[in-house]
Structure 1
Amino acid sequence: MALYPLKFEPIFKYRMWGGNKLKSELHKDYEEDCIGESWEISDVEHDESIVASGNLKGKSLKELISTYKDDFLGKKVYEQFGEKFPLLIKFIDAKTPLSIQVHPSNEVAKERHNSFGKNEMWYIMQADKDAEIIVGFENDTNKKDYQTHLENGKVLELMHHENVSKGDTYYIPTGRIHAIGAGVLLAEIQQTSDITYRVYDYDRVDASTGEKRELHNDLALDVIDFKRQDSYKTNYVSELNQSNQLVHSPYFKTNFLPINGEIVKDYSTLDSFVILMCVSGEASLICNNIDYKIALGETILIPATITSFKIEAKQAELLEVFM
């Protein structure tokens, strides 16, 4: 059966900090309260994505990789990752702040959890007035100062707080302490990993359990990077009808693609699947004379064997993700 551009059923995740923007802003369809995450493409165990439409409807991401191998992933990607999909793609809605947290590197995650590490990036889609994120430290610090502030409930004083607005982009390498603040809706691209070390959670009680959430301070202490950075935000240009480099890391590459009119994409030299996330407007992806629509809050995966197609839009902004 021939491969085609694929949409998957979103996997909705209850989070104590979740709101309703995934429904009100991105038009996701669910009934539950406090949905904080929509996992758009996932190969996390027990949370594998399922194809939403077309001849392959009902097939899991795992089944697709097992069947189509490098036609699906790309030769280089398949050689490196085998039948594991390397990325986890999400939309996140923070009604209240997320915990202060950090992620381990590939090496530490493999040793401790038999998992990939968790390098990730955020693209801010919408932010309420004065909404902020926490990313890194305001000044260089060290384990001793950090632990003292943590024990005294003042760890937030060490953090770098930054107001955000639509289009702001941040790369969060492993070891960088971070948190999404209240009122932020964003797209997240990350390695396939669900390993998070939570270090501070505002002493909150999770209404779903009646208990405070577990902290992982011992695990976190030796993975945190205590050095401040001069800048945490990713600067990029936004040229219309072009793929503009956003975050190019060793773990994934993301471009910003604003479209008004039509463009032809040629991936013949890429050797990777491509993921398109619609972060504004809507577009038509024309492939083999079939029109695949992608609207705000939707995600579509282009298998590696598809190397050329046309995109048409009156006004759309896409994130273009590949390996």
Structure 2
Amino acid sequence: MEVYRLEAACKDYLWGGEKLKSEYHITYSGTALAEAWMLSCHKDGESRILPAEAPSIDPSPAEGKERLSLFLERHPEALGTIAGQFAFFPILIKLIDAKLPLSVQVHPDDEYALKYEGQLGKTEMWIILEREEGAFLYLGFKEDYSKEEIQKAIQENYLTDLLKKIPVEKGDVFLIEAGTVHAIGAGILLAEVQENSNLTYRVYDYGRKDKYGKERELHIEKALKVLHTGRLAKMPARFTSENIGNCASSEGMKKQEKPRLSYIERLGSCKYFTVERLKTASEEVYRRKVNEDSFLFAMLVDGKAELSWQESPESQNPIHSIKAEKGNGFFIPAGRGELFFSGEGEWILSFLEL
């Protein structure tokens, strides 16, 4: 099987901006674009496989482009052996452009969601790609509160006063467990890697109205049943561009007189996904083998690069290649063999791991 570039499913929520179209090469005919579902087999928005000759921005309609879920039904081996533990495609990956703040919300865990909603809950990871001066997010509570105190704050519109406000920088990473109250603030563009779920309980929405003039639905009763009321005992995983450094090369951690220009780092992992960040320099080629255990999704989030691979795992030289621009995402089937990442860019790599 080849390497497949995917077309995103687009969402035009009222808080979206214009950067995903203008800077991340996402095809969309509307104006504001809030989310691009880059890797998705979810019924609410599926990725599609683009033809090999498709331009970076493909204006052609979705008809004739195979849905990723149908491709995987025909080629289940493309998922890899680890995926056998799931009855569903486990990952959903998005690019999110928050021109305005998102609602304060919470996601239930799997046990609650499967019992009462018939679908998965949601643990997610945020990787900050861009931010405006002063941008922040809300993550968890400042102190331990009772549900009665939280409910009163919701009813009297001061819930955000109870939340932990965290300024963000480009490169920050947050792993957010189900049950944690959170909100993305205005002026943030991020990548989100999450469980394959679209289940959100909206707690507070600043009294905003949708395009039909109606306030969006809140889910306060459900949210109060699933949210963690206590202060976070520790911050979730968070790494900044200041402390990353040249943490690992493509050959692993080594003591060197001169740091390598390219490096890869582990951002986080859970049952449903493992995420790494790869930075490549024009002076080097990063080699990565994709074995039979898992597919790999590679998303270029900065720079320009090239992705090359061998015709077969037994071949000695890379003979196929795709040029990648910011915002392009590629599905690499399990067992594809060795890949070659070249050019100057930053990639988010997602896969399954036992």
- Do they fold alike, i.e. is TM over 0.5? yes
Instruction: State the distance in 1 between where 2:219 and 2:16 align.
Output: 21
1:55 Cα deviation (Å)?
9.3
Tell me the TM-score normalized by structure 1: 0.93
Q: Is the 8 A contact 1:234 1:247 kept in 2?
A: no
What are the residue-to-residue correspondences of 1:11-160 with 2, within 5 Å? 11-54=9-52, 58-69=65-76, 71-77=77-83, 79-82=84-87, 84-160=88-164
Superimposed CA distance per residue, residues 155-176 of structure 1 (whole angstroms, 9 cap, x where no aligned partner): 0000011111210111111001
1:219 Cα deviation (Å)?
0.6
1:76 Cα deviation (Å)?
1.9
Larger radius of gyration: 2
Q: Secondary structure at the match of 1:157?
A: helix
Cα 1:62–1:31 change in 2 (3 A) is: closer
Q: Secondary structure at the match of 2:15?
A: strand
Identity %: 35
Residue 350 of structure 2: aligned partner = 321
1:256 Cα deviation (Å)?
1.1
Q: CA RMSD in A?
A: 1.7
Instruction: State the distance in 2 between where 1:187 and 1:35 align.
Output: 14
What are the residue-to-residue correspondences of 1:185-204 with 2, within 5 Å? 185-204=189-208
Residue ranges of structure 2 left out of the alignment (5+ in a row) = 55-63, 247-260, 311-318
Instruction: State the distance in 2 between where 1:274 and 1:227 align.
Output: 36
Q: Secondary structure at the match of 2:271?
A: coil
Q: Secondary structure at the match of 2:12?
A: strand
Instruction: State the distance in 2 between where 1:165 and 1:53 align.
Output: 36
Instruction: State the distance in 2 between where 1:4 and 1:116 align.
Output: 31
Q: Is the 8 A contact 2:153 2:159 kept in 1?
A: yes
Cα 1:66–1:27 change in 2 (3 A) is: closer
Instruction: State the distance in 1 between where 2:306 and 2:53 align.
Output: 19
Query: Which of 137, 152, 168 is residue 164 of structure 1 equivalent to?
Result: 168
Cα 1:287–1:58 change in 2 (3 A) is: same
Which stretch of structure 1 is more off in the superposition, 128-137 or 292-301?
Answer: 292-301
Q: Is the 8 A contact 2:207 2:215 kept in 1?
A: yes
Q: Does 1:225 align with 2:228?
A: yes
Q: Is the 8 A contact 2:290 2:335 kept in 1?
A: no
What letter corresponds to residue 62 of structure 1 in structure 2? Answer: S
Q: Is the 8 A contact 2:125 2:175 kept in 1?
A: yes
Residue 250 of structure 1: aligned partner = 271
Q: Is the 8 A contact 1:139 1:228 kept in 2?
A: yes
Instruction: State the distance in 2 between where 1:141 and 1:46 align.
Output: 35
- Say which structure is richer in strand: 1
Q: Is the 8 A contact 1:262 1:310 kept in 2?
A: yes
Instruction: State the distance in 1 between where 2:271 and 2:262 align.
Output: 25
Residue 274 of structure 1: aligned partner = 296
1:96 Cα deviation (Å)?
0.6
Residue ranges of structure 1 left out of the alignment (5+ in a row) = none
Q: Does 1:9 align with 2:7?
A: yes
Which stretch of structure 1 is more off in the superposition, 110-119 or 28-37?
Answer: 28-37
Cα 1:29–1:62 change in 2 (3 A) is: closer
Cα 1:244–1:238 change in 2 (3 A) is: farther
Superimposed CA distance per residue, residues 137-172 of structure 1 (whole angstroms, 9 cap, x where no aligned partner): 112222121112112111000001111121011111
Q: Secondary structure at the match of 2:174?
A: strand
Q: Does 1:262 align with 2:285?
A: yes
Residue 303 of structure 1: aligned partner = 333
Q: Is the 8 A contact 1:170 1:233 kept in 2?
A: yes
Instruction: State the distance in 2 between where 1:180 and 1:124 align.
Output: 10
What is the total number of aligned residue pairs between the two structures?
Answer: 315
Superimposed CA distance per residue, residues 28-67 of structure 1 (whole angstroms, 9 cap, x where no aligned partner): 2323122101111111115222101239972211111111
Residue 257 of structure 2: aligned partner = none
1:116 Cα deviation (Å)?
1.4
1:238 Cα deviation (Å)?
4.3
Q: Secondary structure at the match of 1:19?
A: coil
Instruction: State the distance in 1 between where 2:304 and 2:130 align.
Output: 16
Q: Secondary structure at the match of 2:48?
A: coil
